């Protein structure tokens, strides 16, 4: 996920242009961290300490470029409406940046390989070809997500921040959550899965849910070499 890929993904969103500026100074003329191009995608989040706790989460992301590592910065909501609750934040980094992290840090980062290939991630505002390009861009990225509103059913955010993990194998997603997401956006997760496997050429990963909050994630396989299998 280099700078060109990062901004190219942003350029795939119909309502947004490509930001060429790299200005970290004071806002001018209404510009600021939230004024530039952004993208929206939707996924199913799972609590690392409780894999049964799952919910549909809307990601609104902007690119942050840095000489050492380009990052997607995302704010997370429980819906797409004006009154949606701000659940938390997520950062996306490329695999090569993840590999350089200290071992003690890696337990906070989850892989996106299954979410992409399994159809769990969708970008509702993109055309199908643009969505596929974006999914290829983030396929091997890693995310660090915290929900500071742990249970959106509560009137105010209460409790400790919730470390989020990703679904990483078949049978882990709550069918009711998947069905509700598909109904809301008029999509079919199974058909998306089939199309992406064919287009990307890899089998879906098979990684077990975390046994504890200290487990370090894997991208493709539960054991042995953590490498993709060609379809």
- The helix or strand, by DSSP H or E, that contains position 77, with its residue range, turns out to be strand 71-77
Q: What is the mean pLDDT of residues 71-100?
A: 96
| pLDDT-based confidence at residue 2 (cuts at 50, 70, 90) | low
Report whether pLDDT(18) > 90.
no
The pLDDT of residue 178 is: 98
Q: What is the mean pLDDT of residues 200-211?
A: 97
Q: What is the mean pLDDT of residues 162-173?
A: 98
Cα 162 to Cα 69, 102, 148, 152, 213: the distances in Å are: 26, 21, 6, 12, 11
Q: Would you kindly state where each structural domain of the chain is located, as residue ranges?
A: 3-13+38-200
Cα 47 to Cα 7, 109, 161, 213: the distances in Å are: 30, 12, 10, 10
Contact predicate 151/158, CB 8 Å = yes
Mean pLDDT of the chain: 89
26-82 confidence digits (pLDDT tens): 445 567 776 777 899 999 999 999 999 999 999 999 988 888 888 999 999 999 999
Q: What is the mean pLDDT of residues 137-161?
A: 97
Q: What is the mean pLDDT of residues 119-136?
A: 95
Q: What is the CA angle 196-10-169, rounded to 5?
A: 30
Q: What is the mean pLDDT of residues 136-156?
A: 97
The pLDDT of residue 124 is: 93
Report whether pLDDT(11) > 60.
no
| pLDDT-based confidence at residue 23 (cuts at 50, 70, 90) | very low
- Residue 67: DSSP 8-state: S
Q: What is the CA angle 106-167-98, rounded to 5?
A: 25
- Tell me how far apart the alpha carbons of residues 190 and 194 are, in angstroms, rounded to a whole number: 6
| pLDDT-based confidence at residue 223 (cuts at 50, 70, 90) | very high
pTM of the model: 0.88
């Amino acid at each position: 996920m280099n700078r060109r890929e990062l901004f190219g993904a942003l350029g795939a969103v119909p309502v947004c242009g490509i930001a060429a500026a790299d200005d970290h100074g004071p806002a001018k003329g209404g510009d600021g961290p939230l004024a530039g191009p952004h993208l929206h995608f939707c996924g199913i989040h799972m609590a690392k300490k409780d894999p049964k706790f799952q919910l549909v989460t809307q990601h609104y992301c902007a690119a942050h470029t840095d000489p050492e590592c380009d990052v997607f910065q995302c704010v997370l909501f429980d819906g797409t409406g004006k009154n949606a609750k701000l659940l938390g934040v997520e950062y996306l980094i490329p695999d090569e940046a993840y590999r350089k992290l200290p071992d003690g840090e890696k337990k906070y980062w989850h892989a996106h390989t299954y979410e992409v290939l399994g159809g769990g991630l969708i970008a509702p505002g993109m055309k199908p070809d643009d969505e596929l390009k974006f999914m290829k861009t983030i396929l091997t990225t890693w995310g660090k997500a915290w929900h500071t509103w742990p249970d959106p059913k509560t009137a105010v955010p209460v409790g400790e921040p919730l470390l989020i993990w990703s679904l990483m194998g078949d049978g882990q997603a709550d069918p009711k959550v998947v069905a509700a997401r598909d109904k809301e956006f008029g999509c079919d997760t199974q058909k998306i899965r089939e199309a992406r496997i064919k287009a990307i050429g890899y089998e879906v990963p098979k990684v077990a849910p975390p046994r504890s909050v200290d487990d370090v994630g894997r991208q493709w396989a539960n054991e042995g070499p953590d490498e993709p299998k060609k379809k």
